[in-house]
Copies of this chain bind each other. A is one copy, B any other.
Amino acid sequence: VSPVVALRPGVLQDPAVVTEIERRMARAGLRWTRARRTVLESVAAAPAPRSVPELQEAIGRDVPLSSLYRVIGDLVAARILIKLEFAEGFARFELDEELAAHHHHLVCTRCGAVADVELHEFEGALTDAARTVQRRTGFAVSMHRLDFFGVCSTCARD
């Protein structure tokens, strides 16, 4: 899929975001290392959730696989990254929504690519839905995820 909507291209240039990341690192007792900075920059630069092999490819052998997994795990635990799965058999990772922007995913069932979209005009309805769930079932909703599946424009052309 072509990156339909690139979300906050330079989040890591935004001092407020960097400050909040540092706050979360500190709260989790994590040190600010080269490997963590590299991984974070790589995830933040991507227009859509990244898989471990994709990050490995982007980063190079600087960060070996096991360290990559460990770094990612730490960043997820610190609530800086979020782990996603799209029934591909492996996980993808993106910046936590409070650090980036709330958005949804377009998953192409033909080529497997994942892109991001923002749908501001529907967030109200989604919030209402969450409240309804909570009232009706007692389940305390803290966040939601809306993904669309279909065929991306690139695949449709062929």
Contact = CB atoms under 8 A, between A and B. Distances in A.
Q: What number of copies of this chain does the assembly contain?
A: 2
A138 interface: yes
A153 interface: yes
A117 interface: yes
Contacts of A108: 139
Contacts of A148: 130, 133, 139, 141, 143-145
20 contacts: A83-B87, A106-B133, A106-B137, A106-B141, A117-B133, A117-B136, A119-B129, A119-B132, A119-B133, A121-B132, A122-B125, A122-B132, A126-B146, A133-B148, A137-B153, A139-B148, A142-B150, A143-B148, A144-B148, A144-B149
